[in-house]
Amino acid sequence: MSLKRRKIRGQMAKIGFIVNPIAGMGGTVGLKGTDGTTVLQEAVKRGAIPVSPRRAKEFLSVLGKNPELSFVVAGGPMGADIAKDLDVEFVSVDSIGPETTKIDTVRIARSMLKHGIDILVFVGGDGTAKDVLEAVGEGVTVLGVPAGVKVYSSVFAINPRAAANMILEFQAGGTETVKGEVLDIDESEFREGRLAISLKGYLPTPQAGGLMQNPKVPSVLTDSEEMEAIADYFLEELIDPSTVYVLGPGLTVDRIARRLGVTKKTLLGVDVVKGDETILALDVSENQILPLIEHSKARIIVSPIGGQGFFLGRGNQQISPRVMRSVGVDGLIIVATKKKMGNLWPRRLLVDSGDHDLDQSFRGYRRIIIGYREEMMIKIE
């Protein structure tokens, strides 16, 4: 629903900027989130490295030293450290301790309202969006820079560069403000292979030119016949006993996994199996995938997220740029039901792996499997 067109043309836009420094750390290590101290500690133990500072830096780098933008930034690792590295001028809001929590996000977001910001930009995932919603409600326009493991809400731009371009559109008065859904997933259920999505509320978000992502639309069992048709085609034409298959999340890939002997696929995780039905590993991390595909012919099978169209970078971060480069861009197989593709608008697929050069290698048109001996060409952005 469109609320109003932002009229800020010719004026300096004041940008609030908050980074959740731990967002996304559970992705490549297969933890499906980083909510809670215990999960964060496990992520660090598994070798997780920060994701959001790099994404925040990519966002700020595009904006540069724009004289029509001013920044009100959270302290330390929640924003100020990154702005200093890029030599961006800013006003700092509130100090923080060595370890940050949602309390810091809520407190700082509320402080930023007192500075008269025009838009609040946060870097994180759905959990951070929920914290921002608690802090500001519908009191200010909000824009999310995707950096979390769970990024299903429609308050996010499709990637950091798109978020930066959205800010430029916003400053120029070229955006409408719409109600963006804030969704959240129960991580404990998520780790058990159950997708429990709940609507937490709405945030006013800018919207222009396809730069924002749609909310996730879950696949449904009524697509079962189409999924089986895709699996039948795969079994007849594409399975090679000597090839290692990296199987991404989702019901459609699950049907293919069954043909490869995986009777209990990790629906919301990544599994690895050979074409001769040898199960190599289930619910794997990036570091577990890499040795399994080294010196082997390998293929990666993924299905885009319903409603959003992301096939890499949302919910399957275990299939990291390192994994993708090891297999090669041509080693990726994308499968999707006709119903899922029909629900995409605009009609496109999206990639946000966190590696801009890798993402660029996917741009253009690509063939995907949509049924038994049925394929279609679709644009990837």
* DSSP per residue, 142-173: EEEEE-SS---STTBBSSHHHHHHHHHHHHTT
Write down the pLDDT at residue 191: 52
Mean pLDDT of 216-231: 81
Mean pLDDT of 261-279: 93
Write down the pLDDT at residue 1: 46
Does position 207 have pLDDT exceeding 80, yes or no? yes
Does position 193 have pLDDT exceeding 60, yes or no? no
What are residue 130's phi and psi, to 5 degrees?
A: -65, -40
- The answer to whether 332 and 344 are in contact (CB under 8 A) is no
CA dihedral 142, 146, 152, 154 (to 10 degrees): 30
- The answer to whether 244 and 296 are in contact (CB under 8 A) is yes
Amino acid at 93: V
Region 221-380: CATH code: 3.40.50
Write down the pLDDT at residue 219: 65
- The answer to whether 206 and 119 are in contact (CB under 8 A) is yes
- Which helix (H) or strand (E) segment is 279 a member of? strand 279-281
Strand partners of residue 298: 244
Domain formed by 2-207, architecture: 3-Layer(aba) Sandwich (3.40)
Mean pLDDT of 14-27: 90
- The answer to whether 15 and 163 are in contact (CB under 8 A) is no
Mean pLDDT of 248-262: 94
User: By percentage, how much of the chain surpasses pLDDT 90?
Assistant: 73
The domain limits of the chain are 2-207, 221-380
The Cα–Cα gap between 30 and 48 comes to 10
Does position 378 have pLDDT exceeding 90, yes or no? yes
The Cα–Cα gap between 305 and 312 comes to 9
317-333 confidence digits (pLDDT tens): 999 999 999 999 999 99
Phi-psi region of 70 (alpha: psi -120 to 50; beta: other; left: phi over 0): beta
Arithmetic mean of pLDDT over the chain: 90
Does position 7 have pLDDT exceeding 50, yes or no? no
The residues, ordered by sequence, that sit 6+ positions from 71 with a Cβ below 8 Å of its Cβ are 14, 15, 16, 17, 83, 88, 89, 90, 91
Exposure on the CB side of residue 304, measured as CA atoms within 13 A: 28
* CB-CB neighbours of 64 under 10 Å: 12
The CA radius of gyration of the chain, in Å to the nearest whole number, is 21
Write down the pLDDT at residue 5: 44
Residue that has been written with the tokens 């966190």 in this structure: 354
Does position 154 have pLDDT exceeding 90, yes or no? yes
Does position 137 have pLDDT exceeding 80, yes or no? yes
- Do 2-207 and 221-380 have matching folds? yes
Residue 113: band (very low, low, confident or very high) from pLDDT cuts 50, 70, 90: very high
- The answer to whether 235 and 259 are in contact (CB under 8 A) is yes
Query: Which of 27-36, 98-107, 222-231, 359-368 shows the lowest per-residue confidence on average (mean pLDDT)?
Result: 27-36
51-102 confidence digits (pLDDT tens): 999 999 999 999 988 999 999 999 999 999 999 999 999 999 987 877 888 9
Amino acid at 214: N
For the record, the structure tokens of 379 come out as: 């644009």
